[in-house]
Structure 1
């Protein structure tokens, strides 16, 4: 085998390889002989067909298989000898050479991994948010839990903000009903912004069995392009008005939250434990994001196009599965690659940078770290020991926790090098609450 390497750019390479045709022919013949021992060919008993007949029937297929294998093996042997790290998949193409009957020539075009040199971290500012969980945060969490268990009871009065109404409605523009503008027994809560402001304002103050026409102006940027910027008239029939009733914080409420004896203090302690766990998780995620951005900021890196394309494909497939899991039909839905390009580039860049930081600074995940991570996952389950056993039942299941430990090790390393600035953050801001 002969191999010649060409450098096309910083990352692009082209390998010209010549394989001895005699070796290929020998393999083809050997495989045909093996096939001949079992081949079922019309007019001959199984395994009794002459080699020439077997070759006529299967020769082209076998030669194609052998060539494919030899090209793959020849390529990876060549890149191994030249100590090249191939990024993504190579593109193979035959090279015609009428003057050489002794060799099969082909070219492989591919990219190599870039050299990654992480920039200077000393003095680089990394923000580290901090949140203190107080009794006020526990009270807010309890209020959220109460609202999640809201019950609605029918009332004989005008609908007001906070009430749930069930209505029939028919919408028309210039006297013509439009698609998506009608529904029966449609429930929504007034004041939660589920409907357009004009629509909610029109329903507010109506009573059960009342019928009324209201005028609604659709915004210019409304998602329904057919009605955006237009004015519609809706005929509203109120079927039911129900007032919200929140559960009292008492023994029964505590039992609903899993406190067997209904003890309120136990309930608050359990809620505090869960809130602190969630706060810790979100703080770690925020710090990690800041560290990752710092690594990106200090490191110049050229990305292999092949790796970015592979990552775009993974993100598209992930988005497709996510939408399907929500019951959406995505079979013929287009997923433009450019929508995922920036995210893919960021993920590829971080993957390369993190691998370099881990290798350069010996930050590999230790078994005890992985075990601690799995045990932390398991804490939120009713039977944590079963969760731990599940993870250790298969090596593949350890990959997720291992990756997270590696990232945590990198975060600690960067925080030890950079200038860490602690910043107080509100509980609501961390949790994404509007309160």
Structure 2
């Protein structure tokens, strides 16, 4: 077998492999010899089939199997022998001419194929002991914990019937019937519906008109459905609702005590506060870690400057660009709305893709030298986390990870990356700095927006490919919890709900 390098340009390599026809025929004959005693052909006793007949009947199929095996196995072996690592799966090319292929299968022509790939660039790891980072720490006040507890307690709030008129925050129990142009519409009717005034569950203007009603009142409410209401037959239409008030109830004052904790399934108020404090600490720690990680990556980025494999950069750019265009479509904005152009955005995000790939290679090398591994248990935990995010789709997700090449790497990559960051935190200089909650979150938002400067939409895409070394800041972890906007009109429920 001849292995001839035909291209060595930057990181690109191309190798021509030639296996003489006589060598291919020898391997084919060896395989036929191995099966001749087991082959059954009419007219011949087992083990007595003439080799020429065996070769005539099965030679080409055996040769085809041999060719497939060679192109599947030999490229990786050749790269290993050359001491090279391919950045992506090598591209294998062979003749597409049918006549030439027949000659190869008949052992009448040499088998030739080419291997095209990009090598992982070689670079020396640098001393990281001079890296200095600041870890921001927030002291959590008891008042903040109590505020969060009270917000949680809203779900356990109880109401009792009151005399007099309904006010903001009261719960109204009612029957209603909705009409558009005098005709009742599907989903516009309900009985014994409960609505807390000010909860913003119903379309704008509905709840405001309940202020002042009392048990026994009957009233007609007139509202206009939003222009973007999911049900097209109601969007932008004026509607009337015949209301019959059955009960008005006021909310009982919520106190942080053992009774509240019991309603929430906990043994004491102390335990409730402990859990809430832990959750707040986790949120702030997540933001602080992302900022700490960004400092490390920024300094590593300054330390290394080497060429990056084009295919890895292209894959990472496509991932980012797809997310950017999705964000634009969802927000209804254009690049012009973000004070940029598509061309400028492409240039900036290509730089970001190069940075991510370069840092990914650096972190991979650091992790390899530190003998960092991802355990099967950690992979399983990551998979279970994926399953929890998509209830009801567990089978599809499991099938995806079982049957999709490289899918498991998407689980392993972020785990490996975080373990490398943990390793680096033991090697570099880390200084703790006390900051306020506002400073932690404000700085986090500002730094997150500066990642790609002002190239395009400000919402940054998280790296999803295994080559990506950087993740978008988890802004949502620190953001104040707000109800998600409803995207679909409720089926068989309250059509007045927005």
TM normalised by structure 1 equals: 0.63
Quick check: 2:132–2:428 contact (8 Å CA) kept in 1?
no
* 1:4 partner SS: strand
Matched, 1:304 2:351: no
Quick check: 1:12–1:112 contact (8 Å CA) kept in 2?
yes
* 2:87 partner SS: strand
Q: Whole-Å Cα distance in 2 between the matches of residues 423 and 4 of structure 1? A: 61
* 2:224 partner SS: strand
Shift of 1:267: 5.1
* 1:212 partner SS: strand
Query: Out of 196, 210, 218, which is 2:226 matched to?
Result: 218
Shift of 1:112: 1.8
CA RMSD of aligned residues (A): 5.3
Quick check: 2:197–2:211 contact (8 Å CA) kept in 1?
yes
Matched, 1:111 2:111: no
Quick check: 1:17–1:74 contact (8 Å CA) kept in 2?
no
Distance 1:152 1:40, change over 3 A: farther
Distance 1:44 1:344, change over 3 A: farther
Partner of 1:71: 71
Shift of 1:149: 2.4
Q: Whole-Å Cα distance in 2 between the matches of residues 398 and 39 of structure 1? A: 46
Shift of 1:103: 2.2
Partner of 1:12: 12
Consecutive unaligned residues of structure 1, counting only runs of 5 or more, are 316-337, 375-395
Q: Whole-Å Cα distance in 1 between the matches of residues 93 and 133 of structure 2? A: 49
Q: Whole-Å Cα distance in 2 between the matches of residues 165 and 296 of structure 1? A: 59
Shift of 1:193: 4.3
Shift of 1:311: 6.8
Shift of 1:407: 1.6
Distance 1:305 1:428, change over 3 A: closer
Shift of 1:41: 6.0
Partner of 2:292: 287
Partner of 1:253: 260
Q: Whole-Å Cα distance in 2 between the matches of residues 6 and 27 of structure 1? A: 27
* Aligned ranges 1:27-426 → 2 under 5 Å: 27-39=27-39, 55=55, 58-95=58-95, 103-115=110-122, 128-151=135-158, 160-163=167-170, 170=178, 172=180, 189-202=196-209, 210=218, 212-216=220-224, 218=226, 222=228, 224=230, 231-238=236-243, 243-245=250-252, 247-256=254-263, 260=267, 262=268, 264-265=269-270, 268-269=273-274, 271-272=276-277, 275-276=280-281, 278-296=283-301, 299-300=304-305, 302-307=307-312, 348-358=357-367, 363-365=370-372, 404-411=418-425, 413=427, 415=429, 423-426=435-438
Shift of 1:251: 2.6
Distance 1:124 1:34, change over 3 A: closer
Quick check: 1:84–1:112 contact (8 Å CA) kept in 2?
yes
Shift of 1:203: 5.6
Q: Whole-Å Cα distance in 2 between the matches of residues 349 and 164 of structure 1? A: 57
Shift of 1:70: 1.5
Q: Which moved more, 1:157-166 or 1:108-117?
A: 157-166
* 2:198 partner SS: coil
Shift of 1:89: 0.8
Partner of 1:392: none
Q: Which moved more, 1:422-431 or 1:12-21?
A: 422-431
Consecutive unaligned residues of structure 2, counting only runs of 5 or more, are 321-345, 382-408, 442-476, 483-498
